[in-house]
Chains A and B, each alone.
Chain A
Amino acid sequence: MSTHSAASYLNASHGIASWLFTRDHKRIALLYLISLSLFFALGGMFAGAIRLELLTPKGNLMSDATYNKMFTLHGVVMIFFFLIPSVPAVLGNFLVPLMIGARDLAFPKLNLLSWYLYMAGALLAVTVAVTGGVDTGWTFYTPYSSTYSNTNVMATAAGAFIAGFSSILTGLNFIVTIHKMRAPGLTWFRLPLFIWAHYATALIQVLATPVVAIALLLVMLERGFGVGIFDPKLGGDPLLFQHLFWFYSHPAVYIMILPSMGVVSEIIAAFSRKRIFGYDFVAFSSLAIALLGFLVWGHHMFVSGQSMYAGLVFSVLSFLVAVPSAVKVFNWTATLYRGSISFDAPMLYALGFIGLFTIGGLTGLFLATLGVDVHVHDTYFVVAHFHYIMVGGALFGYLGGLHYWWPKLTGRLYPHTWARLAAAIIFLGFNLTFFPQFLLGYLGMPRRYHVYPEEFQVLNVFSTAGASVLGIGYLMPLIYLLWSLRSGAKADSNPWNAKGLEWQVSSPPPVHNFDQVPTVTEEAYAYAPADKGGS
């Protein structure tokens, strides 16, 4: 196999216009990678400010109003402009066509348009940081957001609204591509689990996102025209907003986690040299999570004044989500059993994912329990649970995937020792940051306050110390991955000796991926038992 074809997608054309007007899914993926990294850094800075303020019980660093803006901006940037697009927009964009043997996504122009929509939404929302901030929390609860807040809610909501269309277009593109453009012989049950996960994610993007769009639009109309859609004073019902908002925003959690689960399946198989145990179950569990994810939104509203009968139903259904989630965890674990495991950086992230997602998922069951939720609702217990899923789960999957496919994206290898070290530091820093928050929440520390009783300080100091470690951990990949672009060893087409069509093309891939459309004759992850991996 050729290691470097002269015309890879990176050097086929030059100049800024060849990037800004590209329709190549691989270049669009890199546009997303660059922009997402910037917004991740920005969201991380807001998080840093929050942790710094919480180092001491009193509000020494910023006022309560500033603190409200900090946690709102942290949430808005991280959720709408980093986590929602993260794996699908970067890795999905790059890999979905490669993995199914297609030359591009079905609608390349829509794909580019979705990046522009993302940028427009994100930049609009970020300008808010310097034009008065926003203090509603990322959830935009009414009537505070629609009537009372004096901050720049309009631009923030408009930013999230616009970015929503970007997400919809990505999902639409994936569904059509996966249905219509698979290579000959690539039946549904030969697809990599990454593709199944992205298919399930895309369904949620298409079905759920429009509802939050209309909810945000109603908030903007109410705020702009001073009418009362959700304001109880004018006959409206604020809970209605919460219903519409969580109809999207709970499934949105699965938009964030499902693609990472797909990444983990790929990594676990490649670094255990085994087919994923119970492939069919893992594939269908993605669809089951997507479906069940739509039926549980009311568990965000247990103490909101929602009918307790609705609460009971939502509680029971929330427990059911644990079943397909556990199917995945058990099957990954069973895949490891008697595998030839190598502990490269991607595998460290994948293993980290399994452990942290398990903690996040189990604490989710605590929260799905009505009685327990009344106790820990709106405390740091929820914050910790959420971050175990979103950082320990979604972000670990993203980082693992980035490390796994980096040689394919760039044609370069990064220093493995540094990468392993960074993965370990991120794992330690993450746990040091967020595990104390479980304890704080259980002890009763409410979220979203910038001051707290002195007895909570020790655990908060641990958490802030952990955040510093985590920050260093995040900086390391930034440095060595950028370094690898210029100085890293050149990667051959399949540095991990992995299965999958994406590893059959050169690194970086040629412009149209496949000179000849490949014909698939075997199942995914057809690793020979004795075939010990590379590296």
Chain B
Amino acid sequence: MPEPHGALAQQFEDLEQQHESATLGMWLFLITEIMFFGGLFAAYAVYRSTHPEAWHNGSRHLDVVMGGINTAVLISSSLTMALAVRAAQLSKKTALLANLALTIAFGAVFLGIKAIEYHHKLEAGLVPGRFFTYVGPDLDHLQLFFLFYFIMTGMHAFHMVVGLVVLAVLVVMTLKGRLLGDFYKPVELTGLYWHFVDVVWIFLFPLLYLIGRHG
């Protein structure tokens, strides 16, 4: 039996309990995400410490301009997401729709730029595995760097795609007149997820793009 959206589920006493449970559940989910990406960051850090030269060189193959623009794009999407939460709380339907749409647009731009970068790396023969045709010193470790580049940014991009799908669902729900006022919770939870994905990128950007710039 599908309950009307945002209504009180039978296991809860009141909406406050339901909302608090949802927020706590989301934070616990984000903790699992921290640890999931954390395993990757730990592996990255170990190899960076054992092969500093390769990491330095690998980093120089990345495009700081594109990475920097993407960082700004993602931060902008976080702003519009935060504004969307505010609009939902204040029952401003048009503002909610506009900010959700902007967030989706920024997210799509980010993925588009990421795709261009991936394509450049493919052309340069820097995609690990059988496409790795790049010629230079210490290829094994350079390949290891790019392995981590692709796994980490790929995992991040995957999370963005999931986020975009959820945002699209929120747009449809808004058009049906939900998510406003007391029913803003799904927007807030999506916002938590979206900001978390932003935080991951905030670390990925310097660790991948910037570590080899000096010297």
Q: Please list the residues of chain A having a beta carbon within 8 angstroms of any beta carbon in chain B.
A: 97, 102-108, 168, 171-173, 175-177, 179-181, 206-211, 213-215, 218, 221, 225-229, 234-237, 240, 243-244, 247, 512, 517
Chain A contacts of B12 at CB under 8 A? 106, 181
Q: Given A210-B33, A235-B143, list of 7 further CB < 8 A pairs?
A: A108-B9, A180-B17, A225-B128, A226-B130, A227-B128, A228-B147, A243-B42
Interface pairs (11), CB distance under 8 Å: A104-B11, A106-B21, A108-B11, A177-B21, A180-B20, A208-B35, A210-B32, A214-B36, A236-B144, A243-B46, A244-B43
Contact, CB under 8 Å: A106 / B129 = no
A168 to B128, CA, bound (A): 31
Q: A107-B25, A108-B11, A229-B147 are in contact. Are A211 and B47 (CB under 8 A)?
A: no
Contact, CB under 8 Å: B35 / A207 = yes
Q: How far is the CB of A482 from chain B (nearest CB, A)?
A: 31
Secondary structure at chain A's binding surface: helix, strand, loop or mixed? helix
Contact, CB under 8 Å: B140 / A235 = yes
Q: Which of A221, A225, A237, A244 contacts B39 (CB 8 A)?
A: A244
Q: A210-B36, A244-B42 are in contact. Are A228 and B140 (CB under 8 A)?
A: yes
Q: A104-B10, A210-B33, A227-B129 are in contact. Are A237 and B24 (CB under 8 A)?
A: no
Q: Which of A180, A226, A234, A236 contacts B21 (CB 8 A)?
A: A180
Q: How far is the CB of B13 from chain A (nearest CB, A)?
A: 7
Contact, CB under 8 Å: B11 / A218 = no
Q: Which of B11, B31, B36 contacts A106 (CB 8 A)?
A: B11
Q: Mark B173-199, 1 if CB is under 8 A from A, else 0.
A: 000000000000000000000000000
Q: Which of A181, A213, A243 contacts B36 (CB 8 A)?
A: A213
A457 to B181, CA, bound (A): 74
Chain A contacts of B24 at CB under 8 A? 175-176, 179-180
Q: How far is the CB of A60 from chain B (nearest CB, A)?
A: 43
Q: How far is the CB of B39 from chain A (nearest CB, A)?
A: 4
Contact, CB under 8 Å: A172 / B32 = yes
Q: How far is the CB of B131 from chain A (nearest CB, A)?
A: 10
Q: Which residue of B lies closest to A177 (CB)?
A: B21
A313 to B189, CA, bound (A): 40
A240 to B43, CA, bound (A): 7
Q: How far is the CB of A40 from chain B (nearest CB, A)?
A: 27
- Interface size on B, as a range, is 35 or more
Chain B contacts of A221 at CB under 8 A? 151
Q: Which residue of A lies closest to B131 (CB)?
A: A225
User: In the complex, which residues 7-32 of chain B have their Cβ closer than 8 Å to any Cβ of chain A?
Assistant: 9-13, 17, 20-21, 24-25, 28-29, 31-32
Q: Which of B21, B29, B32, B144 contacts A229 (CB 8 A)?
A: B144
Q: How far is the CB of B200 from chain A (nearest CB, A)?
A: 13
Q: A214-B36, A221-B151 are in contact. Are A103 and B25 (CB under 8 A)?
A: no
Q: How far is the CB of B53 from chain A (nearest CB, A)?
A: 12
Contact, CB under 8 Å: B46 / A234 = no
Q: Which residue of A lies closest to B32 (CB)?
A: A210
Q: Which residue of B lies closest to A234 (CB)?
A: B140
Q: Which residue of B lies closest to A225 (CB)?
A: B129
Contact, CB under 8 Å: A237 / B36 = no
A235 to B9, CA, bound (A): 53
Contact, CB under 8 Å: A181 / B17 = yes
A175 to B35, CA, bound (A): 17
A173 to B29, CA, bound (A): 10
A305 to B44, CA, bound (A): 20
Q: A214-B40, A244-B42 are in contact. Are A103 and B147 (CB under 8 A)?
A: no
Q: Which of A97, A172, A177, A210 contacts B35 (CB 8 A)?
A: A210
Q: How far is the CB of B20 from chain A (nearest CB, A)?
A: 6
Contact, CB under 8 Å: B31 / A211 = no
Contact, CB under 8 Å: A207 / B144 = no
B51 contacts the other chain (CB 8 A): yes
A173 to B33, CA, bound (A): 16
A240 to B12, CA, bound (A): 44
Chain A contacts of B28 at CB under 8 A? 171-172, 175-176, 206
Q: How far is the CB of B31 from chain A (nearest CB, A)?
A: 6
Chain A contacts of B36 at CB under 8 A? 210-211, 213-214
Contact, CB under 8 Å: A228 / B143 = yes
User: In the complex, which residues 126-167 of chain B have their Cβ closer than 8 Å to any Cβ of chain A?
Assistant: 128-130, 140-141, 143-144, 147, 151
Contact, CB under 8 Å: A211 / B39 = yes
Q: A181-B17, A226-B130 are in contact. Are A237 and B46 (CB under 8 A)?
A: yes
Q: How far is the CB of A142 from chain B (nearest CB, A)?
A: 12
